[in-house]
Chain A
Amino acid sequence: MMWLSGGFIFRKGYSFYHRLDPRAKLLNSALMFVTTLLARSIFEMVLVVAFMVGLSAAATVLKRVARTMAFTALFSGFIFVVNVLFTRDLETSVLYATRFVAIVVSTSIFFITTSPDELEQVMKMFRLPRDVVFAFVTAVRFIPVMMLDTIQIMDAQKSRGLELEKGNLVRRVRNMIPILIPLVVNSVVRSGELAEAMEARAYGAAPKPTSLLEYRARRVDIGVACASVVLFALAAYSFYFVIPVQFP
């Protein structure tokens, strides 16, 4: 949970990167992702990671990306151990382990700099059905509300003598019942109210709903997109033709 919220939940930011068109950010992250797959040596991988770290710094999200990397390190350590055991090849194992970190970072940069609003636009671009997009939107919208609900429910039950940390495993699981039932009931009530409010505001009335937001790519967006493509091409070219293959 901590790892998730640190690495993938959007927080408001005002850097040039935050303000980019979500499509440019998506393209950039996708290309970084592919580049990590292309890198064939530790040296190349270090280059890719260094680039992403530089980008995070420019986007003022270095701290959060660093935290993501720290958390991911646990998993990548596991990958390293498994690889060493099976391949007995230290370099390959290091490469795979760092590649995992790099993959997570490339996606994380996209998610922490892209607002839910922009995510919604991206989903629409992929022609996902409106209901699916809207379900996603409301789910994300109500995460903080439900977290607050959970705290209030826990407070109320603790005030009635419920001790969550007491007893053996079975007892602890049973102690969750007084928390979970009100949470579910509240969510059901809430969805009923949401459904009414949606109806009252003509959800689904027009076959082609419009959108207040317009994503018109500005020069800087196109510039960044082009730069991403050029850098990607450059990286791919040098990985295969310039940097001497030390490995495998």
Chain B
Amino acid sequence: MIEFRGVTFVHQNGVKALDGVSLRVEAGEFVALVGENGAGKTTLVKHVTGLLKPASGSVLVDGVDTKEASTAQLSRKVGVAFQNPDHQLFSETVEEEMSFALRNFGFSPELVRNRVTWGLELFGLEEYRKSSPLVLSGGEKKRLTLACILAWDPQVVILDEPTVGQDSIQKERLAGTIQMLKSAGKTVMVVSHDIEFLWPIQPRVVVMKGGRVVGDGPSADLMQDRDLLGSARVAQPQLVEFYQELHRRPGTPFVHALDAARWAEESLQP
């Protein structure tokens, strides 16, 4: 679905933001992109929708080279929810805000109406249909930006730091939405620092450092690679740390990291 072939990108100020990145994401996959600030995650995402074009190498989205397509064309397939909702909300009403992209993509008025209603219901925003998006709370704004994107039904959904400023109830809802997208067969990419949020949903994890991909694999394996995560300044999930500490001690049977908590509980039963 998405393929990076040896992509290098240099910012105007001379900083190499991507350095020979090769990455393949298949349709229907769920990938988390982790790494410290400045590791190149957002730059990578901007290449998927052609907001940035590689200096060398190429990016293919659904078989199309991003150099050959406009951001508008690519966005029809790839919806990106950027970190800060205030960087996109501009309409008089929530309804208008949601219709914006659909009209840009040439949906019929009837389809626009149906999709908007569907999105508002899905995210529990019906009561705000006629309100200004600016009066919504931070959490609601984030949900609205996500609704705006899902409304045009892109094949790929990219979320940039979706948990920032969200409380635990909102995060749980978000995890539910991601689950829904997965079962609908969407390709989902999440850029996030929030390791504790990512751990229970077990994505494929891609670790970035200094513009390179330094680790790529299933969450359950990769999150146990303490050296790799340490060098990329990525935190380890608490449960994995606990599991590994436990495992380092003699007499601990092998169990899967995912089962550490349950096993610890069982092992203490008299």
A and B touch in the complex (CB under 8 A): yes
Say whether A192 faces chain B, with CB atoms less than 8 Å apart.
Answer: no
Nearest CB of chain A from residue B261's CB, rounded to whole Å: 39
Interface size on A, residues (CB 8 A): 19
Q: How far is the CA of A181 from the CA of B97 in the complex (A)?
A: 12
Contacts of A243 in B (CB 8 A): none
Judge whether A182 and B76 touch: CB under 8 Å: no
Residue ID in chain A nearest B70 by CB atoms: A163
Interface of A is mostly: helix
1/0 per residue, CB under 8 A from B, across A145-167: the answer is 00001001101111111110000
CB of B150 to closest CB in A, whole Å: 12
Verify if A223 is at the interface (C-beta below 8 Å from B).
no
Partner of B84 from the list A152, A161, A162, A178 (CB cut-off 8 Å) is A152
Which residues, 192 to 231 on A, are CB-close (under 8 Å) to B?
none
B9 contacts the other chain (CB 8 A) = no
Task: Determine if A189 is an interface residue (Cβ-Cβ < 8 Å).
Answer: yes
Q: Residues of B contacting A163 with CB < 8 Å?
A: 70, 72, 104
Binary interface profile of B, 87-122, with partner A (CB < 8 Å = 1, else 0)? 111100000000011001100000000000000000
Determine whether the beta carbon of B72 is less than 8 Å from that of A185: no
Q: Is A177 an interface residue (CB 8 A)?
A: yes
Q: Answer whether residue A186 sits at the interface, using C-beta atoms and an 8 A cutoff.
A: yes
Q: How many A-B residue pairs have CB under 8 A?
A: 64
Docked complex: A78-120 residues within 8 A CB-CB of B = none
Closest to B79 in A: A159
Are A152 and B82 interface neighbours, CB within 8 A? Answer: yes
Partner of B75, one of A160, A181, A185, A189: A160
Task: Render B196-210 as a binary contact track against A, CB cut-off 8 A, 1 for contact.
Answer: 000000000000000
A161 contacts across to B, CB distance below 8 A: 72, 75-76, 100-101, 104-105, 152
Closest residue of B by beta carbon distance from A179: B90
**Chain A residue with the shortest CB-CB distance to B83:** A152
A177 to B70, CA, bound (A): 20
Inter-subunit contact A153/B79 (CB<8 Å): no
Interface residues of B in 25-78 (CB under 8 A from A): 46, 49, 51, 70-72, 75-76
Q: How far is the CB of A170 from chain B (nearest CB, A)?
A: 17
Give A163 to B149 CA distance when docked, in angstroms: 17
Q: Is the CB of B88 within 8 A of A182?
A: yes
Q: Of all chain A residues, which has the CB nearest B152?
A: A161
* Bound complex: CA A174 to CA B87 (Å): 18
B86 within 8 Å of A (CB atoms): yes
Measured between beta carbons, the chain A residues less than 8 angstroms from B101 are: 160-161
Contact B71 A159 (CB under 8 A): yes
A162 to B49, CA, bound (A): 13
Q: Do A153 and B104 have beta carbons less than 8 Å apart?
A: no
A156 touches B87 (CB 8 A): yes
Instruction: Note all chain A residues with C-beta closer than 8 A to B87.
Output: 149, 152-153, 156, 182, 186
Beyond A161-B72, A178-B100, whether A186 also contacts B86 by CB under 8 A is yes
Contact of B76 with A153 in the complex, beta carbons under 8 Å? no
Question: In this assembly, does B223 line the interface, its C-beta being within 8 Å of a C-beta of chain A?
Answer: no
Closest A residue to B71 by CB, please name it: A158
Separation in Å of the B37 CB from the closest CB of chain A?
A: 14
B148 close to chain A: CB less than 8 A:
yes
B10 within 8 Å of A (CB atoms)? no
B88 adjacent to A158 (CB under 8 Å): no
Which one of A156, A177, A185, A189 lies within 8 Å of B82 (CB-CB)? A156
B90→A177 contact, CB < 8 A: yes
Report the minimum CB–CB distance from B226 to chain A (whole Å). 34
Nearest B residue to A153 via CB reads B87
Q: Which residues of A have CB within 8 Å of B49? A: 158-159
- Report Cα–Cα, A182/B152, bound state, in Å: 22
B80 at the interface (CB under 8 A from A): yes
Residue positions of B touching A, CB distance < 8 A = 46, 49, 51, 70-72, 75-76, 79-80, 82, 84, 86-90, 100-101, 104-105, 134, 148-149, 152
A contacts, CB < 8 Å to B: 149, 152-153, 155-163, 177-178, 181-182, 185-186, 189
What are some 22 contacts across the A-B interface (CB < 8 A)? A149-B87, A152-B82, A152-B84, A152-B87, A153-B87, A155-B46, A155-B82, A156-B87, A158-B49, A158-B75, A159-B75, A160-B148, A161-B72, A161-B75, A161-B76, A162-B72, A181-B90, A182-B87, A182-B89, A182-B90, A185-B86, A185-B90
The 5 closest A-B pairs by CB, nearest first: A161-B104, A181-B90, A160-B101, A156-B88, A158-B71
